[in-house]
Amino acid sequence: MIRLALAYLRDRPLMSALNILLLALAVATLVMLLSVSTQIGNRFERDARGIDLVVGAKGSPLQLILSSIYQMDIPTGNIPLESIALLRQDPSVRQVIPLTMGDNFRGFRIVGTEPAYLGLQNAKLAQGRMFAKAQEVVIGTRVADELGMTLGQRFVGSHGLTDDENAGHHEQSPFTTVGILAPTGSVMDRLIISNVESAWDIHGIDHDNLEDEVLHKGEHEHGQEDTDHSETVDHHDKDDASVSLTEREQMKPEITALLVSYKSAFGAVRIPSMINRQTNMQAAVPAVETARLLSLLGVGIDGARSFAWLLAATGGLSIFVALLAAASAREADLALLRVMGASRAQVFGTIIAEGLLISAIGAIAGLLLGHGALALAHANFEQLRDFGFDPFVMLPGEGGILLAVLGIGLLATLIPALRVFCVNLAESLARSS
């Protein structure tokens, strides 16, 4: 009966193709929406792991979160170095990780931080060692793959967060790659990570006197990982000629943001309001901002999803109309099948099989189309690549979509099939023969 159903599909190629196309478009849209929304949600959740609060310059809290955690936007500005000590001394704070940003190498952001930052994503070194002094970097796996970088490779960073040929280069302070991270599936895969002093050095900011007393103050009380700067080279040999002594004296070491995790829930109650009310900085809660962003995205996604289900229902309706018309047009065929000895159930099954075949082919074609379109988007949109989006990842929800589309197909075939099942064969033969 499956072969017969296939033969009927082949016998009406245009109608079959249109029905399949309708369902395929619906499934492709649903698969794309599911994949994008799920991967965005997962990625946001994964990248924000272990971060309860982000402290940065006043501005948009969402921008602060996007720039500091997801490396997707421009930072809101810089904050004083003393803010590190302020938070590290707080008894309800477990960990404070400083970030400096503002430079890139061929579009990959260079982030100044501490080794503890890598611990947020359980990043492990695949090759080499951790950075130990200024101008040493550990690079993410995508940076290494896309730029073909290897251990020991030296490179010069550029101003700004995106690749711009006109941007100034820090040729006086080249970086050296000392480690390559194993893949983490997180934002770290596309970062070049160094210590915070590197950022100050390449911008000619004097920090030697401040390091111990400000930068690392409070670390030992809270069991923070100690960063050994004993081997820090004297970067004053490489002063930026374009920066005058007066300017240098005016430029104080700053940081871009702080990633904070609490030791106790009390911190969540007290610290954000303390930062927002009593300092010139802002505190943003990743969970809140991410939820707000996903909610904003969700409106569009929900609208598109409703449209896709409408498309699927239209596909089902089209199958229903086609099979209802076919059941009438094929009355003679179906009567002949019964004459040849096919049971009612077999004839009923032929109609059901035809509807299910259209649905199954449409669903599988839609699945392939959806992932193909995602792959095309991935190849053409840098943002998706930066986001670590995988166009070929199969989600459990896709199985649900396939089953739902098969259900629509089954529902659409039931009435035509039941009409065939209930037909009076003798009367049908009288009309047909």
Binding site for another protein (CB under 8 A): 3-4, 7-8, 10-11, 330, 332-333, 335-344, 425-426, 429-430, 432-433
CB 412, min distance to another protein, A:
20
What are the beta bridge partners of residue 137? 177
CB 346, min distance to another protein, A:
8
Nearer to another protein, 14 or 241 (CB): 14
Nearer to another protein, 54 or 361 (CB): 361
Nearer to another protein, 2 or 375 (CB): 2
Is residue 35 classed exposed, middle or buried when 0-12, 13-18 and 19+ CB atoms within 10 A define those classes?
Answer: buried
Nearer to another protein, 181 or 337 (CB): 337
CB 339, min distance to another protein, A:
5
CB 343, min distance to another protein, A:
5
Other CB atoms within 10 Å distance of the CB of residue 413: 27
Is residue 111 classed exposed, middle or buried when 0-12, 13-18 and 19+ CB atoms within 10 A define those classes?
Answer: buried
For the residues of 80-142, what is the DSSP string, one character each?
ETHHHHHHHT-TTEEEEEEEEEEEEETTEEEEEE-THHHHTTT--EEEE----STTEEEE-HH
Nearer to another protein, 245 or 426 (CB): 426
CB 61, CB 42: distance < 8 Å: no
CB 418, min distance to another protein, A:
16
Nearer to another protein, 170 or 330 (CB): 330
For the residues of 170-226, what is the DSSP string, one character each?
-TTS-EEEEEEEPP-SSGGGGEEEEEHHHHHHHTT---TTTIIIIITTTTGGGTPPP
CB 8, min distance to another protein, A:
5
